[in-house]
Amino acid sequence: MRFSTLLLSCATVLLAGCATISDTVDALNPFSKSAPKSKPAPLPSFQPQAEVIRLWQASIGKAGEYVLTPAVVGESVYAAARDGTLARLDDGRQVWRIETGKVFSGGVGASDRLVVVGTPKGEVLAFHAQDGKLAWQAQVSSEILASPALAGDLVVVRSNDARIFAFDAVDGKRRWVYQRPTPALVLRSTAGVVLIDKAIYAGFPGGKLVAISRSNGAALWEASVALPRGTTELERIADVASDPVVETDTVCAVAYQGRLACFDSDNGRQLWARDISSVAGLDIGHRAIVVSDEKGVLQAFDRTGGATLWKQDKLRLRGVGRPLALGRKVVVGDFEGYLHVLAEDDGSILARQATDGSAIAAAPRRLKGLDDRLVVQTKNGSVLAFSLR
């Protein structure tokens, strides 16, 4: 078993105590400040077949030990820094910027009306999207490491003790809380929730995927992405440590030391599953589901039946994060701040683009409604928009 550089939380003490397992691949740990201890693959040589064009760049401030993912609403990008800075950028132009005096530990969630960020103390801070003024504040039970999810009249926040809180988007009044038992030892992750019209989807420690009612927080169905195996608590870690992905009537999730599995989003019936271990996550493209495994190897599976399409190991141990399917391409960032563009069809490397030299730990975000543009945020606080040609 490999337990390289993954941060663990002890559920028995409400995640207050954490232990670090580190010996080979610090880049696999999104909270790590250092480069990998094991030698990563060198930057691979390739024949460029695509172009990455920088559209704009801004600076928000360092993320520190946290993974701060920006939110995209139309052409507006909302980004946060560890020191409590929050800003709105429209096509790269700063519309407003505020200094809240708080420490931000979770990424940004946003709608066309509201921007929401979390803190290590479990504070939920909501600001008006138009001018950045504070709209309301609420409290959850522990540290917030995930980006809040917003849709309609609901704001959903996941705390690091695996509880999910729903708040009214207008006044911040708490509507309900969902919680479930957790194993004695779990990964400390940035896994959040996916909020759509018909349900909320979230992965949990122990390899479970749950669909939750928007109206009252009741579980609609529960499915097993992976089953814990082994004799020790470490060997039995099988956490869904990244966001699930929903596409039409299918929801897919991947677990550490477990599997990639896809289910019917209405009833939780398993469609197919493949053995693979990942903490970074997946995305669904036109034909393929692409996963970054625990070693930074990218693997693609046919989205309809799970057949293996390709494997790309030239980025092994480079701290490759969650992939983003963009048109017929796949984009990933690494621990040195490089963006790598791959072909969805065969996994070949098409292009590469440097940023500011610091890790891209946060998942790249698609500019809404566009199949060729994306936004990334680095650990040093650069927010950059690119177009793929």
Q: What is the pLDDT of residues 208-261, one digit of tens each?
A: 999 999 999 999 999 999 999 888 989 999 999 999 999 999 999 999 999 999
**Tokens representing residue 156 in the block:** 């959903």
Q: Edge to edge, what strands does the sheet with 85-90 contain? A: 71-73, 76-80, 85-90, 93-99
Q: What's the rounded Cα separation, in Å, for the pair 130 and 112?
A: 8
pLDDT band at 14 (very low <50, low <70, confident <90, very high): very low
DSSP-derived 3-state class of residue 127 = strand
Residue (of 389, 15, 377) closest to 186 by Cα position:
15
Q: How far is CA 237 from CA 19, 182, 191, 203, 255, in A?
A: 14, 11, 15, 14, 9
Q: What's the rounded Cα separation, in Å, for the pair 326 and 49?
A: 15
pTM greater than 0.85 (yes/no): yes
pLDDT tens per residue across span 180-192: 988 889 999 999 9
Percent of the chain with pLDDT over 90: 85
> What residues form DSSP beta bridges with 57?
384
pLDDT tens per residue across span 131-170: 999 999 999 999 999 999 999 999 999 999 999 999 999 9
**Tokens representing residue 137 in the block:** 């504040």
Average pLDDT over residues 327-334: 96
CB 255 within 8 A of CB 238: yes
Backbone angles phi, psi at 350, to 5 degrees: -100, -30
Intra-chain end-to-end CA distance of the chain, in Å? 41
Q: What single string gives the DSSP state of each residue in 163-175?
A: -EEEEETTT--EE
Average pLDDT over residues 299-313: 97
| Torsion angle in degrees (nearest 10) through CA of 369, 371, 377, 382 | -100
Q: Edge to edge, what strands does the sheet with 258-264 contain? A: 245-247, 250-254, 258-264, 270-276
